[in-house]
Amino acid sequence: MSWVHTWTAMPQAAEPDNLPPAPFAGDGVLLADTTLRQTVRVTAGGDRLRVRLSNAFGGSALPVTAAAVARPVGGRAGVPDICRGSGHTLTFGGRPAVVVPAGAQIVSDPVAAPVGPGENLTISVYLAGGQAGPALTAHPGSRTTSYLMAGDRHAEAELAGATGVEHWYLISGVEVDCGGPVFAVVGDSLTDGRGSTTDGNDRWPDQLSARKPGVAVVNQAAGGNRVLDDGLGPSVLARLDRDVLAVSGVDRMLLFAGVNDIGTAPATAAGQDRVTGDLLVAFRQVVLRAQARGIRVYGATLTPFGGHDYDDPDGAREATRVAANDAIRHGRIFDGVADFDAAVRDPAHPRQLRPAYDTGDHLHLNPAGYGALAGAVPLDWLT
């Protein structure tokens, strides 16, 4: 068997509003004498696993005192407690503690902790001295509750009184020894799951995984992400190597991004002509770079944003979306195309989302809308 990723979270720098709350961040030190307990949902299962911790955006070394994996009580996300007797200590080169240099990541030693497809896994990390701030590696849009508690509680079953936050910190991947295919999805908040249910795991990649249990589907998306320019996190072009090409097991990917590039470009003919051309070049660059590593690359059409702030009165941005979608559908850029636009647009008003799928901001989808996206992906792409 070979090691493949079964869960990922795109590393980002935590913005000030997404840093740990007091008293877990203060006096220039983050997470000092803090246990951080976080839950993730794996896709493929395996008999052994490894955990990846990331210090990609930390401004200083990250000293991890202890870490462990366990099963959450009831097998659910959104609970701070773990099942007694289910814990497994994580080691790094045989040691229980490790220092992750700034900008680096660390992979734990394999641990015999069998996990099944679609199961939740809890990762507990204790930092005795914390990390010098203010920079911290995180994934703000976790849509999953994490828990912070003072003191070394990483091996304890109960965390009564823990502080809950809807962010992930420091964790970036879980690998299993299953050796199967890995399907990576790259995108923005629509893939990161804004509008989905907190602790519900009903983003569209989650619902796609549920259609084909046991196949690894890894989500490498972040809110506000763009293809061309950095925003909330590095651009797709800047992070492709780290988030796809260097992720163990990935042999196919789907790119669903570009709305934020269109929406933040000037709503003028010149501005939109420029972003249209630049996006198509960027799509081809992603395909060229991924195919050079033997990765099959699928694309998805861009979903409507009529009525959102991106929707300018003259329709310049809508014209760009239509042009980009025409190129995605017919330009032979990708190895295959999922028509997300057709799956969620309002037939009576094609520049808008179906009302039943709209969260109300006219850009993001609710769980039913994300289910429609998941249903638009051909299942043979996962096998």
Q: What percent of the chain has pLDDT over 70?
A: 100
What is the helix, strand, coil percentage profile of the chain, to 5? Answer: 25, 30, 45
Tens digits of residue pLDDT in 312-341: 999 999 999 999 999 999 999 999 999 999
Flag whether the pTM goes above 0.95: yes
Residues 6+ away with beta carbon under 8 Å from 89: 66, 67, 68, 96, 111, 155
Look at residue 27 and tell me whether its pLDDT is greater than 80.
no
pLDDT digits (tens, 9 = 90+) for 39-59: 999 999 999 999 999 999 999
pLDDT recorded at residue 26: 79
Q: What is the pLDDT of residues 185-229, one digit of tens each?
A: 999 999 999 999 999 999 999 999 999 999 999 999 999 999 999
Decide if pLDDT at 287 tops 90.
Answer: yes
The pLDDT of residue 31 is above 80 = yes
Give the tens place of pLDDT for each residue, 174-183: 999 998 999 9
Give me the pLDDT at residue 179, please.
86
Average pLDDT, the chain: 97
Q: Which amino acid is at 324?
A: A
Gyration radius (Cα) of the chain, Å: 21
pLDDT at 232: 85
Q: CA 59 to CA 299: how far, in whole Å?
A: 35
- Give tens-digit pLDDT for 344-368: 999 999 999 999 999 999 999 999 9
End-to-end CA distance of the chain: 17
Select from 109, 164, 116, 159 the least CA-distant residue to 142: 164
pLDDT over 80 at 343, yes or no: yes
Helix (H) or strand (E) holding 264, with range, is helix 259-264
